[in-house]
Amino acid sequence: MTLSAASNRMTGAGAIRWRSVTGIWLRHWTAYVRYWKIMITWVLVEPAVALVAVGFGIGKLVTEVEGADSYAEFVTPGIVMGSAMFHALFETSWNAYQRIDSQIYETQLTTPVTVFELTLGDVAWAVTRAVMTTISVAAFAAALGWIDDWTVIGILIPAVLTGMVFGTMGFFFAATAPYTVFLSLVFTLVATPLYFFSGSFFPISVLPDWVQPIAWAMPLTPGVHIARGFATNSLELTHLWSGLYMIGLTVVFWPIAVWLMRRRLVK
């Protein structure tokens, strides 16, 4: 068996039927737009409130920060990428678990859909949600003058990468969670520490020397780093390495996520 065949057997990829993947994405979009008036509070209102509170509140106390002209400009990319992370992770952990529990996935697998295609459609939707909140919050920040207008376009690159990384990661928890309450730990013990220790609210350089390598290795850190590079017009080679690191994480996480989902769904 060739390496390619072994990989396809592990992931269930084979020849991807993009029509099936698109159908899964459209299913999520249809369900989402039915409740858009409620969902907009999480897409824009909640992160915008955090942005204003931190930018105007703490920003009045912090007069100088490394890597930006003001604290508001420094913190904006972190809040934007943090919001993208929460959306992607929620979609493929909490929502995916609900689809497992209600046997929606089992029903989908009775149609011409493989587990790989199912995860691909879900990750595509997780990326879509990450991009939607990024556009909304970044546009709001641009209106406040905290990022340049054109940066909203460039900041979509780390938004997509963040959606991919945390979209694949979310399946780890959905596929192994014994019950719904367990998933609350995903956000209290995983997402929240990442949000606060990935350079979102303060430079990683202020952390103890032994903590800094850990902080740089966190999967949200490169997304924040790239977004801040666009926001402050200071792109350099480290931002390219950060992007490659996030792509590498996705490549590593995805086969594991597919394997875990197959073990959970295929009896």
Residue 204 is given by DSSP the state: G
The residue behind tokens 């956000």 is 187
pLDDT tops 50 at residue 225: yes
Check residue 149 and give its pLDDT: 65
Confidence grade of residue 11 (pLDDT, cut at 50, 70, 90): very low
| Tokens (6 digits) for 142 | 């641009």
Lowest mean pLDDT among 137-141, 245-249, 256-260: 137-141
68 strand-pairing partners: 65
| Tokens (6 digits) for 92 | 């493929």
| Tokens (6 digits) for 259 | 């394997």
Q: What is the pLDDT of residues 81-107, one digit of tens each?
A: 999 999 999 999 999 999 999 999 999
pTM more than 0.85: yes
Q: How far is CA 2 from CA 6, 10, 27, 251, 258, in A?
A: 6, 12, 35, 19, 20
pLDDT tops 50 at residue 2: no
| Tokens (6 digits) for 184 | 């609350």
Q: How far is CA 99 from CA 84, 96, 106, 251, in A?
A: 21, 5, 9, 24
Domain boundaries along the sequence of the chain: 24-265
